[in-house]
């Protein structure tokens, strides 16, 4: 619903009548000083290593723990739950301060018979890995989703 309201507002603004303003004049010095310097894109090598992660829901309840192994490129990223085989992570995007990853579908460790696919937006903050994660359970022909916050500490 929020997205619909945003889209409607954007359409209304785009279709509104333009104000008649006098032409703006600027000098080369003005243009250079007003230019916004984009933040540098984070490097995958900043994430490279082994991370001990904990996922929690909005109430702070621990949903699970896992080891995330990241490499300096888009290949070889894995997520390993205790007593489980590593699950490959796909790096979907690297932009600004974020790395977007996706895993699955893989068997859920929480819901027997369910397959799960997760997508996370990962960032580095104060030396920790932090992520907003969305998971989608597939049980039979039904889907359900959940959201979690992930925090990870780098292991030696």
Half-sphere exposure (CA, 13 Å, Cβ side) for 139? Answer: 10
The pLDDT of residue 78 is above 50 = yes
Beta-bridge mates of residue 123: 130
How far is 29 from 36, CA to CA, in rounded Å?
Answer: 14
**Is the per-residue pLDDT at 7 higher than 70?**
no
The predicted-structure confidence for 102-155, as pLDDT tens digits, reads as follows: 999 999 888 888 999 999 999 999 999 999 999 999 988 888 999 999 999 999
**Band of pLDDT at residue 6, cut at 50, 70 and 90:** very low
CB 123 within 8 Å of CB 131: yes
Half-sphere exposure of 83 (CA within 13 A, CB side): 3
- Spell out where the chain has E strands: 49-56, 62-70, 78-80, 87-95, 98-107, 115-125, 128-139, 142-155
Tell me which residue of 75, 150, 52, 146 sits closest to 108, measured CA to CA. 146
Most confident option among 34-48, 50-64, 133-147: 50-64
Q: Which domains does the chain have, with CATH numbers?
A: 44-155 (2.40.128)
3-class SS of residue 116 = strand
């Amino acid at each position: 619903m929020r997205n619909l309201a945003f889209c409607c507002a954007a359409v209304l603004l785009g279709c509104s009548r333009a104000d008649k303003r006098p032409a703006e004049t600027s000098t080369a010095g003005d243009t250079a000083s007003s230019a916004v310097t984009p933040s540098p894109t984070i490097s995958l090598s900043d994430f490279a290593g082994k991370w001990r992660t904990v996922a929690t829901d909005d109430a702070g309840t621990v949903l699970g723990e896992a080891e995330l192994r990241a490499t300096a490129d888009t290949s070889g990223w894995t997520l390993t739950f205790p007593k489980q085989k590593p699950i490959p992570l796909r790096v979907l995007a690297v932009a600004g301060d974020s790395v977007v990853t996706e895993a699955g579908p893989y068997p859920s460790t929480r819901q027997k018979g369910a397959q799960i696919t997760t997508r996370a937006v990962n960032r580095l903050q104060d030396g920790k890995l932090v992520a907003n994660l969305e998971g989608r359970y597939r049980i039979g022909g039904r889907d359900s989703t959940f959201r979690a916050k992930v925090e990870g500490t780098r292991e030696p």
